[in-house]
């Protein structure tokens, strides 16, 4: 005799069935959240909400967000669900301006979080929440003043030389012949190279020297350990992808599964690296005008009696900033550089025009690259980078959390407190209403005459408002420097059919190509 029926097997079946029904109702309990509040919402499915394809790595995050964007054409905002959690996508540029800039006081925090003992994942500027974020941001921002960036630029020139050497030994020389460009394209040997890897080596070394004052030797050493760490953080494994995606979008589960924003091994390595660099610097007493010096000064300044009562950055926070500068610093710029090379290879006219600008300016400067040249004399390079960032913003979306219930003056609807708000950055960048023929790589959109016609709040590859990318200027400087070296001396041509159409990786929350970015690279001799 069983509990409910004559048979144990039937009882078990009833229990399993009841549990499944309860689980189902639990999973869908929040659905209709947006409808009930008067917002349009995209119909979700149980368990995954609107993110099934994303969590199963069947579609890249950027496309899932774009589907939501497209579903709600003509709506200022649309509700959706990540698992069972209600999210709001804001689509209207005016509303976006309110979230990012005008009403920032109510939208200071991001959604992201990391495992509770992971101080690198939790205390870095990207993840920190108010009031700690505001305090650390104020302390860290002066690292990027023009004076400091100029000094960092001198350090970067050392890496520029390494890049030159690396390319010379990797790529064969062919004679330059501008009059007969066609012959250059179709004669002589060229080398197939993964340009993403070259760019990542370059930016890894740049961040090493500008942030830590260390030579990471990613360009000169095939087995560079730090480059391996960089690869591990952005590895394309499914486990790492779910960990990363959850840390960015579903912080409620990071403690359950022990998920860390940067992964366990990389976080440990970055922490050790910081301690080693800090010790070496303190022992040597050398001053290098880099991030490390800045953090050491900050630490010393905090010991000062006069600032005793002030809120302080603790050691965990210092290490976390050094780590996020490494991770944020190398991947973002190298991805931008490599997507630019990819588009330049597909658009030889643009590549030629850019090379002409670079050759002209370099010739006037005896072949030397200077900080002022980077800032003021290369308008076409700037346009090429802006257009690259339009089509390939590394972070395809921005997000903020509402602190209190929020009623925007533009709509009658109230966004409840504690709700994540998403700005679909790439969808706006690729919306034909704002950027006609968006699939076309056309740097002239950003010429002086044309860029004033871009609708405000539809283009923001570095984010916007007080939480805009803190490393924007450094990112642009290293991207420009790398592209100058590459384009002025080398020619980039497409070589693989797989790359005719760009496909984004299903296992990356950031924008990343599924295939390696392999291009034909050929040296242009100055002889
Ligand atoms: C091409 C290069 C880069 C791109 C496209 C980029 C893009 C972004 C974006 C879109 C955000 C979010 C902004 C927002 O939510 O409004 C961000 C934040 C951030 N970026 Fe960058 N970034 C780049 C380079 C760098 C570099 C070189 C560093 C450091 C050395 C860096 C460090 C950070 C940090 C720490 C944050 C968080 C800022 C905060 O919340 O206060 N980024 N970046």
Q: What is the pLDDT of residues 170-185, one digit of tens each?
A: 886 544 444 444 434 4
What pLDDT does 418 receive? 93
Which residue puts its alpha carbon closest to atom 16 of ligand 1? 463
What pLDDT does 182 receive? 41
Atom of ligand 1 nearest to the CA of 321: 35
List all residues whose CB is within 6 A of at least one atom of ligand 1.
125-126, 137, 324-325, 328-329, 332-333, 336, 389, 394-395, 398, 461-464, 467-471, 474-475, 479
pLDDT band of residue 332 (cuts 50, 70, 90) is very high
Query: Who contacts 175 (Cβ-Cβ below 8 Å, separation ≥6)?
Result: 184, 188, 525, 527
Does residue 307 or residue 24 have the better pLDDT? 24
Provide the whole-model pTM: 0.91
Alpha-carbon distances, residue 284 vs 154, 216, 281 (angstroms): 21, 18, 5
HEC letters along 41-89 = ECCCECCCECCHHHHCCCCCHHHHHHHHHHHCCCCCEEEEEECCEEEEE
- Closest Cα partner for 231 from 279, 207, 263, 254? 263
Which residue puts its alpha carbon closest to atom 13 of ligand 1? 463
Residue 76 has pLDDT above 60, yes or no: yes
Annotated binding site for heme: 469
Range from 181-185, 292-296, 411-415 carrying the lowest mean pLDDT: 181-185
Q: Would you say domain 31-523 falls under CATH 1.10.630.10?
A: yes
| CA 315/CA 203 separation, integer angstroms | 26
Range from 219-233, 236-250, 329-343, 489-503 carrying the lowest mean pLDDT: 219-233
Does residue 183 or residue 276 have the better pLDDT? 276
| CA 303/CA 316 separation, integer angstroms | 16
Residue 527 has pLDDT above 60, yes or no: no
**Which is it for the CA torsion 109, 146, 315, 218, positive or negative?**
positive
Distance 173 CA to ligand 1 centre (A): 37
Q: Give the mean pLDDT of 384-408.
A: 95
Residue 377 has pLDDT above 80, yes or no: yes
What pLDDT does 247 receive? 92
Share of the chain above pLDDT 70, in %: 93
What pLDDT does 187 receive? 45
Residue 212 has pLDDT above 70, yes or no: yes
Interface confidence: ipTM more than 0.95: yes
Atom of ligand 1 nearest to the CA of 100: 16
Atom of ligand 1 nearest to the CA of 464: 16
Query: Who contacts 179 (Cβ-Cβ below 8 Å, separation ≥6)?
Result: none
Q: Kindly report the number of other CB atoms within 10 A of residue 141's CB atom.
A: 11
| CA 76/CA 69 separation, integer angstroms | 10
The mean of the pLDDT values for the chain is 88
Two structure tokens written together for 97:
């301006």
């Amino acid at each position: 005799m069983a509990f409910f029926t004559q048979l144990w097997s039937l009882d078990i079946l009833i229990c399993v069935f009841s549990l499944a029904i309860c689980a189902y109702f639990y999973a869908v309990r929040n659905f209709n959240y947006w409808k009930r509040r008067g917002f349009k919402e995209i119909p979700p499915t149980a368990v995954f909400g609107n993110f099934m394809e994303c969590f199963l790595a069947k579609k890249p995050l950027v496309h899932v967000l774009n589907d939501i964007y497209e579903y709600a054409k003509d709506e200022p905002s649309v509700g959706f669900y990540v698992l069972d959690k209600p999210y709001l996508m804001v689509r209207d540029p005016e509303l976006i301006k309110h979230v990012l800039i005008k009403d920032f006081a109510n939208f200071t925090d991001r959604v992201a979080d990391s495992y509770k003992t992971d101080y690198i994942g939790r205390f870095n500027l990207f993840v920190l929440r108010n009031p700690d974020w505001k305090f650390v941001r104020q302390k860290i921002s002066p690292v990027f003043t023009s004076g400091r960036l100029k000094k960092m630029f001198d350090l970067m020139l050392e890496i520029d030389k390494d890049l030159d050497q690396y390319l010379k030994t990797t790529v064969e020389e062919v004679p330059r012949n501008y009059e007969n460009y066609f012959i250059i394209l179709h004669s002589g040997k060229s080398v197939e190279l993964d340009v993403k890897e070259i760019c990542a080596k370059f930016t890894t070394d740049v961040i090493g020297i500008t942030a830590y004052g260390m030579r990471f030797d990613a360009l000169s050493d095939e087995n560079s350990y730090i480059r391996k760490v960089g690869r591990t953080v952005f590895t394309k494994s499914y486990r790492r992808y779910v960990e990363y995606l959850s840390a960015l979008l579903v912080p409620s589960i990071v403690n359950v599964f022990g998920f860390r924003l940067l992964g366990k091994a990389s976080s440990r390595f970055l922490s050790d690296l910081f301690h080693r660099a800090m010790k070496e610097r303190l022992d040597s007493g050398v001053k290098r005008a880099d991030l490390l010096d800045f953090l050491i000064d900050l630490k010393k300044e905090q010991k000062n009696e006069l600032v005793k009562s002030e809120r302080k950055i603790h050691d965990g926070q210092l290490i976390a900033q050094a780590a996020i500068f490494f991770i944020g610093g190398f991947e973002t710029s190298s991805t931008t550089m490599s997507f630019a090379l990819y588009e330049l290879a597909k658009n030889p006219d643009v590549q030629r025009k850019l090379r002409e600008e670079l050759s002209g300016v370099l010739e006037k400067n005896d072949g030397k690259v200077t900080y002022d040249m980077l800032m003021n004399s290369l308008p076409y390079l700037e346009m090429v980078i802006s257009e690259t960032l339009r089509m390939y913003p590394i972070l395809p979306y921005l997000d903020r959390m509402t602190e209190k219930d929020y009623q925007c003056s533009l709509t009658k609807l109230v966004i409840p407190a504690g709700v994540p708000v998403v700005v679909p950055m790439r969808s706006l960048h690729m919306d034909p209403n704002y950027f006609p023929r968006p699939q076309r790589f056309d740097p002239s959109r950003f010429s002086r005459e044309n860029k004033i016609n871009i609708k405000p709040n539809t283009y923001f590859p570095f984010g916007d408002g007080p939480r805009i990318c803190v490393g924007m200027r450094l990112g642009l400087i290293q991207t420009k420097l790398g592209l100058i070296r590459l384009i002025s001396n080398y020619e980039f041509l497409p070589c693989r059919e797989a790359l005719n159409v760009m496909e984004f990786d299903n296992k990356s929350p950031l924008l990343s190509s599924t295939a390696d970015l392999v291009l034909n690279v050929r040296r242009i001799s100055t002889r």
